[in-house]
Amino acid sequence: MQELSVMFTMDCEPAKIDVTAYGSMMSASGPDDYQESERSIRAYVATVKQAGFSTTLFAHPEVAAAHSQLLLELQDEGACLGLHVHPYKLKGGRYQHDLGAYSSPAQRQILREASDVWEEALGQKATYFRAGYFSANDFTFGVLKELGFKGGSLSIPGRILPEHCSVWAGADPYPHRAHLGFRQLRGDSDFIEIPVSMDFERPTNRGAANEQGYEWLYIPAERYEHPEIVRHIVQRVHAEAHPHGVIVTDTHNDQDYSQGDHPARVNLDLTLRSIERCCAEVGVRPVGATVARLCDRLRLEQKHEGTMGLGG
């Protein structure tokens, strides 16, 4: 039976008490305080785990510091941890733009600063990454590889959001080795990119971030039809029989997933049920995955394929 990997992710934003007025203006996502954040993270992970799936938590450095015990506890229970960065949300207020607005040296400096705080808080090196707003440019994958990152989930195929330097029109929608010269192409680097899943049958001129592109599995988006998005993604992956078919969702830690009637929790439950139903309808088996698991699998499979081809 064909398998379909399912990767539930959360961008864990710093509490608003840690963000400047300018940072909040640039990105309003994030909990009021870390009690709200912990409640959201715990309930999201527990709900996804109860359905048989794993969670990837991309944590901003301030979240890693505030929630070090929580994140390490969840990691021990199967969650995968990665780094999340909005430059203007970093403490100190030194940066004014999204990551994709910066040169290679500036990105290197931003990511080193953020990684140092994250590593000190959690006692381990950050090796997976996602930028706020999925902001990146053609330098980003190369900088991440140079800094020792193994992979991430940076792209959102079809998105056009230039005010946040997030343009992914034409990007490869399946997991792939990143191209270090042109971000929309698949390449041959050791950095593995896992794109967020898009519904190419549901175009929009005003998405969840006011972007042009397609509806996607952003769980809190109240105007999205999550069951339809799931159905279209499952049908596309099944029809194309891609060896690395995957569903990748996203949310933030400012949604109260502990409350069954909260709109985001309702959407999460709908998404989970839709994945089970739609996969059964086309005869594929949904399998829980994290960004680490998918990156390792893709790297090992392609290494094996390359070795097999040497004997020609």
Q: What tens digit of pLDDT does each residue of 228-273 get?
A: 999 999 999 999 998 899 999 999 999 999 999 999 999 999 999 9
User: How many C-beta atoms surround the C-beta of residue 93 within 10 A?
Assistant: 13
pLDDT digits (tens, 9 = 90+) for 13-54: 999 999 999 999 999 999 999 999 999 999 999 999 999 999
d(CA 238, CA 217): 18
pLDDT digits (tens, 9 = 90+) for 77-124: 999 999 999 999 999 899 999 999 999 999 999 999 999 999 999 999
pTM of the model: 0.95
The domain locations on the chain are 2-310
Residue 214 to residues 194, 263, 289, 299, Cα–Cα distance (Å): 17, 21, 23, 29
> Token pair for residue 93?
């207020």
Fold that domain 2-310 belongs to in CATH: TIM Barrel (3.20.20)
Backbone CA torsion sign across 286, 208, 173, 235 = positive
d(CA 63, CA 116): 13
> Token pair for residue 67?
């929630």
Question: Residue 176: helix, strand or coil by DSSP?
Answer: strand
